[in-house]
Amino acid sequence: MVVNFEKIKEATINGEQHIVKKLTQEAVKQGAKAEQIIQDSLISAMSHVGEKFGAGTIYIPEMLRAARAMKFGMEVLKPLLVGNKVHTLAKVVIGTVKGDMHDIGKNLVGIMLEGSGFEVIDLGIDVSVNQFLTAIKKHHPEFLAMSALLTTTMEKMKIVIDGLEEAGLRPKVKVFVGGAPVNQSFADEIRADGYGANAGKAAELMKGMLK
């Protein structure tokens, strides 16, 4: 039987949580790779939903339903991505910046990092500068990863980096930034150490920095 990525995508767009879960389980049984289901079905669905929202043909409730449905698919896939890692490469503190409630991309980055052997301390969404600084003082991570999905919240990343500098913590932690509106030139501008366009890239770049 051929895996129908398009069906999972459609069910995600329509917010059909249980169908997404069932179809994702079936796809895994049929041998589909978790990464491909995420990319071709789940992320693809969110891009579609984002376009529709941007065009004004769907509204927040539909966007929210799709996001929840995606989480049902991710629940099935997470154990396959994380596996059983016995040792920790390095610690990463991760969070979505203040004023921003988007967490799907951030969670995906966290899952991929865990799957690559990192210990992930997830501060959640709407994380203030102080919360980031407190977590860094407490956990002494090698990396800080910040996510922002809004053009109005991406500036908060710079404020956190400034805060790290003021607190004398900047040399102790490598800062990674990401999220749909973020790009390499923005990362350079705010003096971040790294930018990743997707979750896999983040893990790959961080691993590279440990060598």
**Measured from the CB atom, is 100 or 114 closer to ligand B12?**
100
Q: How far apart are CB 109 and ligand B12 at their closest, in Å? A: 5
Q: How far is CA 98 from CA 156, 196, 201, in A?
A: 7, 20, 24
Q: How far apart are CB 53 and ligand B12 at their closest, in Å? A: 5
Q: With contacts defined by CB under 6 A, name the span among 12-20, 74-82, 156-164, 175-183 that binds ligand B12.
A: 175-183
CA-CA distance, 204 to 211, in Å (whole number)? 11
Per CB under 6 A, 56 contacts ligand B12: no
Per CB under 6 A, 104 contacts ligand B12: yes
Alpha-carbon Rg for the chain, nearest whole angstrom, is 18
CA-CA distance, 20 to 24, in Å (whole number)? 6
- Contact pattern from residue 72 through residue 101 relative to ligand B12, giving x for each residue in contact according to CB under 6 A and a dash for the rest: ---------------------------xxx
**Measured from the CB atom, is 23 or 177 closer to ligand B12?**
177
Alpha-helical runs (H) found in the chain? 5-13, 17-29, 34-37, 44-54, 60-82, 104-115, 129-139, 156-166, 184-189, 199-210
Q: Is 59 helix (H, G, I), strand (E, B) or coil?
A: coil
Site residues for ligand B12 per CB under 6 A: 43, 46-47, 49-50, 53-54, 60, 63-64, 67, 99-106, 108-109, 145-147, 149-151, 176-181, 196, 198-199, 202
